[in-house]
Amino acid sequence: MSIYRLILNRIASALLTLLLVSLVIFIISDLLPGDAAQEMLGQSATPEQVAALRHDLGLDRPAYVRFGDWVGGIVSGDPGTSMVANMPVAEVIADRLPNTLRLAALTAAFTVPLSLLIGISAAMNRGGRLDRVLSISTLAMVAMPEFLVATLGVLIFSVKLRLLPSITMVTADQPWGEFLRSYTLPVLSLSVVVIAQMSRMTRAAVIDQLNQPYVEMAVLKGVGPVAIVRRHVLPNAIGPIINAMALSLSYLLGGAIIVETIFNYPGLASLMVNAVTSRDTPLLQACAMIFCSAYLLLLLAADIIAILANPRLHNK
């Protein structure tokens, strides 16, 4: 299969996945008790007032009609209007999306080099003391959920030591020092599990290549271990490593929901949580599509890079 056909197949699968995800989220949100009209008017509203607002919002239409209208709007580039904010969903998301992208970029810039260093170091010393220490440490990190890491970080660095803020403030004219202090705890909270997962998968990919016959031949020729890894192992392990990076970075999408909520970070994940609370279905659907699209794009990029890095797979 050519790389072009692979890309087309991946894109078609991604579009079908997005449709199914949007359908599942719509059904689940529609099954939740209450709706946007009841949330906006509160418990003191009369049934007549709720019915009138539901009619104005179009919530009294059949579910399949509302879902079809939303899909048609997405195809035409219009994700609809937020029921709570009473403004286009695109404008609401445009205010929050850059903050989430900034948090993800900072986390990736911190986790990727450190994870590669840990994974390669553990693989080069497999079976040794360093490998055992790193393996036990990363295994313990995998078992620590984000909310626990974030809570402990706030307790230690914000409450006890008073070194870092417990709420992440985002302003346009924020000094660099304050910027770094604000983002330290959210980035560290997201990084713990990502570093553990990525480093363990990198270690496995490198060890798999170190067990190949060409590595044994290089050792017999007197090539040093660092040169073997740099010249022979990494070029052949780049595919699995890229896949490990993509899978680990996609984990940021789920972790960001917890971290943004704990630190009151004005990002897309916390916006989606608010949309669930207020039953704002158009906003919830749009946020979910962005997260799902980002996840699928990461996997597609990993597949393409893995094929381009291995010439033997170009014409398969």
What values do phi and psi take at 108, rounded to 5? -65, -40
What values do phi and psi take at 81, rounded to 5? -120, 135
Specify the pLDDT at position 315. Answer: 53
Task: Report the distance separating Cα 286 and Cα 268, nearest Å.
Answer: 10
CATH architecture type of domain 93-313: Orthogonal Bundle (1.10)
| CA distances from residue 281 to 114, 271, 284, 305 in whole angstroms, order as listed | 39, 12, 5, 36
Facing residues of 88 across strands? 81
Specify the pLDDT at position 10. Answer: 79
Task: Report the distance separating Cα 66 and Cα 69, nearest Å.
Answer: 5
- What is the end-to-end Cα distance of the chain in Å, rounded? 5
Structural domain boundaries in the chain: 93-313
Specify the pLDDT at position 2. Answer: 67
- Whole-model pTM? 0.82
Specify the pLDDT at position 185. Answer: 92
Which residues of the chain carry a pLDDT beneath 50? none
Specify the pLDDT at position 228. Answer: 86
Amino acid at 120: I
Task: Report the distance separating Cα 221 and Cα 36, nearest Å.
Answer: 71
Can you give the chain as a three-state secondary structure string? CCHHHHHHHHHHHHHHHHHHHHHHHHHHHHHCCCCHHHHHHCCCCCHHHHHHHHHHHCCCCCHHHHHHHHHHHHHCCCCCECCCCCCEHHHHHHHHHHHHHHHHHHHHHHHHHHHHHHHHHHHHCCCCHHHHHHHHHHHHHHCCCHHHHHHHHHHHHHHHCCCCCCCCCCCCCCCHHHHHHHHHHHHHHHHHHHHHHHHHHHHHHHHHHHCCHHHHHHHHCCCCHHHHHHHHHHHHHHHHHHHHHHHHHHHHHHHHHHHHHHCCCCCHHHHHHHHHHHCCHHHHHHHHHHHHHHHHHHHHHHHHHHHHHCHHHCCC
Specify the pLDDT at position 281. Answer: 86
Specify the pLDDT at position 199. Answer: 92
Specify the pLDDT at position 111. Answer: 92
Facing residues of 81 across strands? 88
